[in-house]
Structure 1
């Protein structure tokens, strides 16, 4: 189903275009926040194209729906004019660059540009889904109740039901999930990179934010490993030789062999680092070519959309799979392990608390701001992030607070928030590191700290690849579980915990971005002051 509208390329068309978008998205029952961002997308694109447009030129606005994915596209027949690319500026103009690349949907990979029979810029969004935490909670509780009924009334029938029906279904699902992990990782990484082409204008700010991001990744990993060592790891490993192998050797091979000898082999071997290397190289090359090969851009864009849609479908089925897997765990006699999940949740929340206290300490030491004063200022956008489990939903509130109350310069704000949405997902690290040995213990597999350290290295890298959407990072567990030799059936419990942890983790990740902006502003002011003194 596709609706099209041809409009005059002028400011007078803004109201008509916004009315068309708003009406269509209301019919598709999209969230109001998505509708507002879609209208912003249309307005910014029209204003950008209008700068060099001839009189009485037109553009086409179309909205198309496939399953639950909606694509909003603008087409303008002229010479290539990419609204996602900021103009090149000199070093002293660097902080006054055009914000078009940031204002259009905060730089997320849901916005793509191609040139084929004119300029085509698209924004993909989705119908409002059911709350994943609510549906998962219902599935989780229902599975436990059904399992208790089986154990009380017909335990033998329950075991047979689990062996003959539940186990094959869950194994098939997790096998399929394992199959789509690699392409999702590859295409989402490329999509994130070639839509971030304004990094060239923000070299100084990017270097500061990168330093902050790497520092927090290291701190988060250290805290997670310490908590795991105290509460979850053992002195001796109980892995079988077939499963364990040499984890250090695996990680070493991945790191030192990061450059593949051919393009196909990394996908066959499931070598995550080589695949990420290929994705980075491909994304950088696409940025350099800047739309010269629109057919390749379109293939990448469509592939990213295809696998994102598949992943959406997988996540939509997750409550059903959680029900099947937890019920199977109950009828097979392993239900007692569920009681320990509350201990795991407390360990994860405790790790988040320690990390957040370190963040607040940095604010007190560097910015000379008390933690209570900072939390009072940041409360509006942190509450939005925690209640929605979406850093994108907190964009407007976060931007307004940073500009008006925290007095951070707009160039830092409009660059840091989209970059933070893409890369500041460090709280996925404790979730991965703590959940893996816990689930391993359910299957009688214990790990030592020597075996977990290389896994921590992998988790640090994988945290960057977690998609910035509620509940979408669960597929990352598959890579870690394959490395550790944990049965994929254990993903059900991990996914259940991950969905609920998404809420506090998102708020913490947004805090990391915000404090990074505060520190960047602080360092920029110090540099400016030192420059004035030198002059």
Structure 2
């Protein structure tokens, strides 16, 4: 029976793709026939899926960061690996923001839109460097979890992890408990991830039913710029780095990482995708001890789509709408904010905080954010997919450079078999699934 079921199992990426196609069809049907009940159903299905993903975000981030920091003690040259990881985060972010600036300057995304400053509105929440720096440190240990302030959760987890390293053997009972809780959370979230095809139907269907193609008209150039910029990074920059730096086959990377990239596209959450991102990264031959550090770290700070390409093009767009001239110094500031401030996005859906941080640094009107909120869900899909691809890419690059990459595992990585248990004890899939 099991062999029969296995032979007819549909690959995870194909399930996501089928959900994407069905969602588009149902969304088009709901919009064209004005079926409000279908639109509401699609919205509820999508919101439920995202709600389930977010349910585990706060504890998942805390225990993932804590355990990942303490796991570094099992890796030779841990400090070197951590510094190389951060360096490559910054290098790829700089490349991504440069591409965004070039595209924005060549296409003038704010010209000819028909939008005016009156169409904008200040967002309820804005970001500034003071808010960013002071907001890292929580005032209590409960609020960051109840308000889902991922940056503060990361701070507390990092402090706890470093303290555990300092305590040594005395902290081992806490570490054992933390590892068990992390495995429990990852297992529960993995079951949610298995619902991704159904969630895809709701999320994509609701986006089509709610926005259709009418909204994209005014933002055609801007939308195209974001997608083109992300695609250049995703299928141009990343493969080039794999081929030149890691001496690895780029096609094999996408073959292994594709399920995580797909899930990121529909869920629009780097943190929600994190267990799957870590799984595909390990399947690509990255040592588990290093992957358990690099992926959670990347899921909260590595945002080439949301924190580099998007704010660069968006800043140019807003400046053109408000008829403000940007100079070379402004473009350098955009690059600086993108490289240094990407942690402000903290792996959550949307990049409004990062955009407001960029606009405030440049002195651009915050009303510009209101111009982009309506189109944001459509843009956030490709941005998050780019983010997650980068979060899987950097551990592969660093592992290859440090001669830690399992080349045989990399060559045999196959995302279509992701549902197959890798370890019967740790990866057992429920019979009902």
TM-score band by shorter chain is 0.5 to 0.7
Q: How far did 1:183 drift? A: 1.8
Residues 1:313 and 1:508: Cα distance change in structure 2 (over 3 Å): same
> 2: CA distance between counterparts of 1:461 and 1:482?
7
Match of 1:511 in 2: 397
Going from structure 1 to structure 2, the CA distance change for 1:495 and 1:210 (only over 3 Å counts) comes to: same
Match of 1:290 in 2: 168
1:227 maps onto 2:108 in alignment:
no
Tell me what 1:321 maps to: 199
CA RMSD of aligned residues (A): 4.9
**How big is each residue's C-alpha offset from its partner over 1:186-211, in whole Å with a ceiling of 9 and x where there is no partner?**
11111212222235xx4xx4444444
1:198-237 to structure 2, matched below 5 A, reads: 198=74, 202=76, 205-231=77-103
Structure 2 gaps of 5+ residues are 258-279, 356-368, 405-433
1:142-174 Cα distance to aligned partner (Å, 9 max, x none): 12223344455x2x2x24531x43334433443
More helix by share: 2
Which residue in the other structure is 1:241 paired with? 122
Question: Out of 156, 171, 181, which is 1:303 matched to?
Answer: 181
Cross-structure match for 1:393? 283
**Any idea what the Cα deviations from partners look like across 1:414-455, whole Å, max 9, x if unmatched?**
9978866676789952233368669999xx9x9998799756
| Superposed CA offset, 1:72-121 (max 9, x none) | xxxxxxxxxxxxxxxxxxxxxxxxxxxxxxxxxxxxxxxxxxxxxxxxxx
Shift of 1:279: 0.5
Conserved? CA contact 2:46–2:199, under 8 Å: yes
Q: Distance in 2 between matches of 1:299 and 1:219?
A: 36
Instruction: Give the superposition deviation at 1:299.
Output: 3.5
Alignment check: 8 A CA contact 1:143 1:327 kept: yes
C-alpha separation between the residues in 2 aligned to 1:513 and 1:298?
A: 26
Q: Is the 8 A contact 1:432 1:477 kept in 2?
A: no
**Alignment equivalent of 1:165, drawn from 30, 41, 48:** 41
2:20/2:204 contact within 8 Å kept = yes
Tell me if the contact between 2:89 and 2:394 (Cα under 8 Å) persists in the aligned partners.
no
* CA deviation after TM superposition for structure 1 residue 327, in Å: 1.6
1:365-376 equivalent positions in 2, closer than 5 A? 375=247
Asked if the contact 1:387/1:503 (under 8 Å) is kept, the reply is no
Counterpart check, 1:459 vs 2:342: yes
Alignment of 1:482-521 (within 5 A): 494=380, 498=384, 506=392, 509-515=395-401, 517=403
Contact 2:31/2:212 (<8 A) preserved: no
Equivalent residue, structure 2, for 1:430? 304
Ranked by relative contact order (alpha carbons within 8 Å, sequence separation 6 or more), the top structure is: 2
Cα distance change on mapping 1:303 and 1:492 into 2, 3 Å: farther
Whether the aligned pair in 2 keeps the contact of 1:220 and 1:430 (CA below 8 Å) is: yes
Q: Give the match for residue 123 of structure 1.
A: none
Q: SS in structure 2 opposite 1:290?
A: helix
Work out whether residues 215 and 375 of structure 2, in 8 Å CA contact, stay in contact via their aligned partners in 1: no
What TM-score, normalized to structure 2? 0.60
For 1:50-449, list aligned pairs within 5 A.
131-152=11-32, 154=33, 156=34, 158-162=35-39, 164-198=40-74, 202=76, 205-231=77-103, 240-243=121-124, 245-249=125-129, 252-292=130-170, 295-335=173-213, 344-352=226-234, 353-354=236-237, 357=240, 375=247, 378-379=248-249, 384-389=252-257, 390-395=280-285, 429-433=303-307
More strand per residue: 1
Helix, strand or coil: the match of 1:348? helix
SS of corresponding position for 1:477 = coil
1:246-271 per-position Cα deviation (integer Å, ceiling 9, x unaligned): 3124xx33324533343223334433
Is this contact kept in 2: 1:216–1:426, CA < 8 A? no
Unaligned runs of 5+ in 1: 1-25, 31-128, 364-373, 400-413, 464-475, 519-535
Deviation at 1:140, TM superposition (A): 1.0
Q: Which residue of 1 aligns with 2:420?
A: none
Alignment-derived partner of residue 62 in structure 1: none
8 A contact 2:307–2:351 mirrored in 1: no
Q: How far, CA to CA, are the matches of 1:489 and 1:318 in structure 2?
A: 23
Shift of 1:291: 4.2
Normalising to structure 1: TM-score of the pair? 0.50
Question: May I ask how many residue pairs the two structures share in their alignment?
Answer: 339
CA distance in 2: counterparts of 1:345 and 1:196, whole angstroms: 36
How far residue 393 of structure 1 moved from its aligned partner, in angstroms, is: 1.8
Q: C-alpha offsets along residues 368-397 of structure 1, whole Å, 9 cap, x if unaligned? A: xxxxxx74xx34xx55433221231232xx
